[in-house]
Amino acid sequence: MSNLKGKVVAITGASSGIGEATARRLAKEGAKVVLGARRTDRLEKIVAEIEAEGGEAAFRALDVVDLEDMRGFVEFAVERFGKLDTLMNNAGVMPLAPLEALKIDEWNRMIDVNIRGVLHGIAAALPLFKRQGAGHFVNVSSIGGHQVWANCAVYCATKYAVVAISDGVRLENKDVRVTVISPGVTESELANTTTDKGAQEMLDAFREVSIPADAIAGAVAYAVGQPDGVDVNEIIVRPTASLY
């Protein structure tokens, strides 16, 4: 992945799971990474460990629901490293429940983080990418952006939206690369936000077969590391033995 060397990649939701694994993987392969999340204690530790291994990294507190915070995150990346090549919109939540449970606050939180957060990332970085004449969005969807299961309707809707928004950006901007990464069941903290007992039992069975977050990081590295004229539009990565 020689095309990764020197690239500046900003990652939301980088304090754990796929975001953390991707930051570590890309830094090892020569990219300069900027980590954003609300848990700055975690970010500080990850950045220190990346730097101890010879990588280049920085972090900033980030709430993707706040548009100005997202703009500040992008500006910070440019101030720190002089440019931004890739923004990975990775932050997400997944509190699953049947619709009849009427967990409306959870619906709104998923809409805010999973959809609005991605749109805020696009709003923050697209003007910069257009000025640069190049840029790359890596937007994290899910296998739930390709199929709907019981208890997952709102979550899946948000992930279908990520696919639709991403394709819209690609169609409208010939100088901006767009990649959708759709993970299958992956080891992460994402499932910890589910409060409905029945949905949690379903989720426990669903997650009996999973892959490590670094497997998704490898897919991101592959997409970001392509030559500038090559855009890998979508990658689905799931466990070999998965039924889903």
Give 82-123 pLDDT, tens digit per residue: 999 999 999 999 999 999 999 999 999 999 999 999 999 999
Report if residue 170 sits inside a domain.
yes
- Region label for 173, one of left (φ > 0), alpha (ψ between -120 and 50) or beta (otherwise): beta
Q: What per-residue confidence (pLDDT) applies to 1?
A: 44
Read off the DSSP letter of residue 186. B
142 falls within a domain: yes
Its domain, for residue 72, covers: 2-236
Report the alpha-carbon distance of residue 73 to residue 61 in Å, rounded. 8
The C-alpha atoms of residue 137 and residue 96 are separated, in whole angstroms, by 27
For residue 152, is it within any domain? Answer: yes
Q: Please indicate, yes or no, if residue 218 is contained in any of the structural domains.
A: yes
Q: Active-site residue 160, yes or no? A: no
What pLDDT is stored for residue 189 in this prediction? 64
Q: Is residue 241 part of a domain?
A: no
**Helix or strand holding residue 24 (H, E):** helix 17-28
pLDDT for 209:
78
The pLDDT assigned to 199 comes to 67
**CATH code of the domain containing 200:** 3.40.50.720
Q: How many domains does the chain have?
A: 1
pLDDT in tens, 63-74: 999 999 999 999
Q: Is residue 210 part of a domain?
A: yes
- The answer as to whether 222 is a domain residue is yes
pLDDT of amino acid 148: 96
Alpha helices in 82-232 (DSSP H): 104-110, 117-132, 153-172, 197-206, 213-224
If the chain, 244 residues long, is cut into consecutive pieces of 10 residues, what is the mean pLDDT of each piece? 87 97 98 97 97 98 98 98 98 94 97 98 98 97 96 97 98 98 85 68 71 96 95 96 78
User: CB 142: neighbour CB atoms within 10 A?
Assistant: 27
Give Rg (Cα) of the chain. Answer: 17
Asked if residue 242 belongs to a domain, the reply is no
In angstroms, the CA 146 to CA 244 distance is 11
Q: What is the dihedral of CA 160, 17, 212, 10, to 10 degrees?
A: 80
